[in-house]
Amino acid sequence: MSRHSPETPLRHLTEEPYYQPVGNELAVFMAAWQRRLPVMLKGPTGCGKTRFLEHMAWRLKRPLVTVACHEDLTSSDLVGRFLIEGDETIWQDGPLTRAVREGAICYLDEIVEARTDTTVVIHPLTDHRRHLPIDKLGTEISAHPDFLLVISYNPGYQTVLKDLKPSTKQRFVGMNFSYPPAELEQSIVARESGLAVEQAGKLVQAAAKARNLKDQGLQEVTSTRALIYAATLMAAGLAPMEAVAAAIISPQTDDPELGAALEEIFQSFL
């Protein structure tokens, strides 16, 4: 039986991913890395968690394997499976196994979305054992010294039915992320979109106000990512409110009243 792993994307980041530190996140992550403690990046969608990790992978010169978890993702998708090729049976490593073998940083984005059997396979990787059981091969492998497990977790999404078990969460060093403070967010939005800083500032100010609508029934508030999209459309020549409608309001709510409330807020700043 041969083994191959051609499909798992393992990224070597050769150019610095732009990341603007907000607090002590670099120091916390470096300390966790030095002791190879698994890390949980906690925070709403679009606030910089993925970019932060890309930046850290670049700094540490480690390859990065990212898995966007979804409700059909099983432990086999992470660990690997047998494939039939002609009359040969081939074992194919999943992304987690590949990261464990090769000493990559493995990022399980929104792990809570995945099937619960996925959390079972990561447990032995999160403590002193640093082992990955591969049931289908009847074996377990020891993690490469440079392997690091990182998960992301959006506390706003969780329901009683879908949440990480406290015992799982406690296996990780937790790092809280939120939207960057206004001044930083302004420079991030301007830099990422190419829009003038002053215009970017208006979007950021409006977003700060719009984020208060969370209590009015919005499931998701305006993310830094959404602001960057709106700014990118504006930089491409779209009128500001058209850009806001397309990049912020439409994706964020289907409710006409909430949409109108958002529109009013952005209109008053732009």
CA distance 94 to 219: 33
130 binds ligand ADP (CB under 6 A): no
Segment 205 to 264, residues that bind ligand ADP, using CB under 6 A:
224-225, 228
Q: Of residues 97-126, which lie at the interface with ligand ADP (CB under 6 A)? A: none
Q: Which residue has the tokens 């196994």?
A: 97
Which is nearer to ligand ADP, 119 or 223 (by Cβ)? 223
- Interaction between residue 42 and ligand ADP (CB under 6 A): no
Cβ–Cβ under 8 Å, residues 111 and 119: yes
β-pairing verdict for 148-153 and 39-42? parallel
- Residue 190: CB minimum distance to ligand ADP, A: 11
Q: Is 50 in the site for ligand ADP (CB under 6 A)?
A: yes
Q: Which of 18, 156, 255, 268 binds ligand ADP (CB under 6 A)?
A: 18
Tell me how many degrees the CA angle 154-155-161 measures, rounded to the nearest 5.
Answer: 105
Per CB under 6 A, does 51 bind ligand ADP? yes
The candidate with the shortest Cα–Cα distance to 83, out of 184, 7, 167, is 7
Tell me the closest approach of the beta carbon of residue 19 to ligand ADP, in angstroms: 4
Dihedral in degrees, nearest 10, Cα atoms 164, 167, 53, 121 = -80
Q: How many residues bind ligand ADP (CB under 6 A)?
A: 17
d(CA 50, CA 48): 6
Judged by the rule CB under 6 A, the positions of this chain that interact with ligand ADP are 18-20, 22, 45-51, 180, 188, 192, 224-225, 228
